[in-house]
């Protein structure tokens, strides 16, 4: 049976340095009989030369639009907001299955082009557990950025957090945060919500490596339902809860106005302000690497929020290699998408297309 032709597209999201396919994984797929095309990308953490060295074909950035129809277009983040029909099969994080803004118009492009979407977020095993995720790295980076912002608050920086750039490796990032916190690390009170999940474990590890005292909440602490006024007693909160249905809010805007609030920094690693399931309905837009914080409350006791939807880009090489290694066994099964994780992902895709039809 002929193996698939994977086409790794250049990312269009600003400052997204991660890669959906690393050279080491591409080499293994090529050895298994796959054909692989890689687009040149100025922002990728790994140059196209590395792919060419292992035997991949190199094409210009964004040329996937003219790729043969049988190619499977592989990426990480959303496609740019064009409106041409999508004729290929696509694999990426689409962020459209929770009724996010613009979800209908995006999926309509697949209807018009008769293409197919395998959303990376919905590649799950028979127990509905994701088979590949950046969760650990999102939590780790989220905690790092939040602590960096808290250090900026302690030092009276304005803004408290300058534009972010990627770090070459995990150790360098930890050393940077420890240096910034300096004498403040022992006094920081941090809470991680969803501490037992992938993201939560990453956030907890970052805090512990930085010498910060961290409290861990998970299902037992949140099952009674919010709001939770006790959150106001922490300096830094990291929300790592993976939400699949509507929840009572953890915090409300009115709560944040209370006198005596200690809470200074919130990092919403889950980061879904545009959907219906956001347990932190206190903000309505994401932040970015270039503008990482959103000031929720100004004045003598300010409160800042971080909601960056590609936090693992802070450690692009390590996080990409880990993710791609998790994904590899399933990429090897792409010659039969009518089974396993690919079939389950397609079932969700078809159900969302049917939902669009019913809404018309």
- Per-residue pLDDT reduced to its tens digit, 137-160: 999 999 999 999 999 999 999 899
Residue 125 backbone dihedrals phi, psi, to 5 degrees: -85, -170
Determine which helix (DSSP H) or strand (DSSP E) holds 150, and give its type and residue range. helix 135-154
> Which residues have C-beta within 8 Å of that of residue 112, sequence separation ≥ 6?
85, 86
Q: List beta partners, residue 217.
A: 193
Q: Which of 13, 88, 90, 95 is catalytic?
A: 95
Q: List beta partners, residue 301.
A: none
CA–CA gap between residue 270 and residue 308 (Å, rounded): 9
Task: Name the band, by pLDDT with cuts 50, 70 and 90, for residue 85.
Answer: very high
Task: Name the band, by pLDDT with cuts 50, 70 and 90, for residue 1.
Answer: low
Q: List beta partners, residue 192.
A: 216, 238
pLDDT > 70 in the chain, percent: 99
Determine which helix (DSSP H) or strand (DSSP E) holds 5, and give its type and residue range. strand 5-8
Do the Cβ atoms of 129 and 344 come closer than 8 Å?
no
Strands 5-8 and 72-74: parallel
Q: Nearest CA to 242 among 225, 219, 263?
A: 219
Task: Name the band, by pLDDT with cuts 50, 70 and 90, for residue 207.
Answer: very high
The pLDDT, as a whole number, for residue 81 is 84
Task: Name the band, by pLDDT with cuts 50, 70 and 90, for residue 15.
Answer: confident
pLDDT > 90 in the chain, percent: 88
CA–CA gap between residue 76 and residue 309 (Å, rounded): 12
- Is 62 an annotated catalytic residue? no
Q: What is the pLDDT of residues 232-278, one digit of tens each?
A: 999 999 999 987 777 899 999 999 999 899 999 999 999 988 877 78
The pLDDT, as a whole number, for residue 51 is 98
Task: Name the band, by pLDDT with cuts 50, 70 and 90, for residue 186.
Answer: confident
CA–CA gap between residue 318 and residue 225 (Å, rounded): 36
Average pLDDT over residues 39-66: 97
CA–CA gap between residue 207 and residue 26 (Å, rounded): 34
The pLDDT, as a whole number, for residue 219 is 93
Task: Name the band, by pLDDT with cuts 50, 70 and 90, for residue 101.
Answer: confident
Helix, strand, or coil here: 27? Answer: helix
Q: Which CATH class is domain 5-122+316-359?
A: alpha beta
Average pLDDT over residues 206-220: 96
Do the Cβ atoms of 46 and 22 come closer than 8 Å?
yes
The pLDDT, as a whole number, for residue 185 is 84
The pLDDT, as a whole number, for residue 54 is 98
Report helix, strand and coil shares of the chain as percent, to nearest 5: 40, 15, 50
Longest dimension (CA), the chain: 67
Average pLDDT over the chain, rounded to an integer? 95
- Is 291 an annotated catalytic residue? no
Strands, E assignment, 93-136: 116-119
Q: Which of 13, 77, 88, 310 is catalytic?
A: 77
Helix, strand, or coil here: 321? Answer: helix
Q: Which CATH class is domain 135-314?
A: alpha beta
> Residue 7 above 80 pLDDT?
yes
Do the Cβ atoms of 269 and 241 come closer than 8 Å?
no
Q: Where in the chain is the domain with CATH 3.40.50.720?
A: 5-122+316-359, 135-314
The pLDDT, as a whole number, for residue 194 is 97
> Which residues have C-beta within 8 Å of that of residue 230, sequence separation ≥ 6?
none
Task: Name the band, by pLDDT with cuts 50, 70 and 90, for residue 184.
Answer: confident
């Amino acid at each position: 049976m002929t193996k698939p032709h994977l086409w790794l597209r250049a990312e269009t999201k600003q400052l997204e340095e991660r890669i959906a396919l690393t050279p080491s994984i591409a080499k293994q797929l090529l050895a298994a009989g796959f054909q692989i095309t890689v687009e040149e990308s100025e922002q990728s953490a790994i140059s196209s030369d590395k792919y060419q060295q292992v035997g991949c074909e190199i094409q210009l950035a964004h040329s996937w639009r003219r790729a043969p129809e049988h190619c499977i277009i592989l990426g990480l983040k959303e496609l740019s907001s064009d409106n041409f029909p999508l004729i290929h099969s696509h694999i990426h994080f689409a962020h459209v299955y929770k009724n996010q803004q613009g979800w209908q118009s995006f999926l309509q492009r697949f209807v018009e082009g008769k293409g197919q979407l395998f959303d990376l977020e919905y590649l799950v095993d028979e127990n509905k557990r994701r088979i590949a995720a950046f969760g650990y790295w999102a939590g780790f980076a989220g905690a790092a950025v939040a602590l960096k912002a808290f250090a900026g608050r302690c030092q009276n920086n304005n803004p408290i957090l300058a534009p972010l750039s990627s770090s070459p490796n995990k150790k360098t990032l930890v050393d940077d945060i420890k240096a910034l916190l300096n004498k403040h690390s022992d006094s920081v009170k941090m809470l991680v919500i969803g501490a037992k999940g992938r993201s939560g474990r990453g956030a907890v590890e970052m805090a512990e490596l930085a010498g910060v005292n961290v409290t861990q909440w998970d299902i037992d602490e949140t099952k009674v339902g919010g709001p939770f006024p006790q959150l106001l007693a922490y300096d830094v909160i990291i929300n790592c809860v993976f939400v699949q249905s509507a929840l009572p809010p953890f915090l409300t805007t009115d709560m944040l106005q209370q006198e005596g609030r200690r809470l200074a920094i919130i990092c919403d690693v889950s980061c879904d302000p545009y959907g219906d399931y956001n347990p932190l309905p206190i903000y309505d837009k994401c932040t970015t690497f270039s503008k990482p914080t959103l000031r929720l409350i100004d004045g003598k006791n300010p409160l800042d929020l971080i909601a960056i939807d590609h936090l693992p880009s802070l450690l692009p090489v390590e996080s990409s290699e880990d993710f791609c290694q998790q994904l590899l066994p399933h990429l090897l099964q792409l010659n039969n998408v009518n089974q396993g994780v690919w079939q389950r992902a397609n079932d969700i895709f078809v159900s969302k297309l049917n939902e669009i039809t019913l809404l018309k």
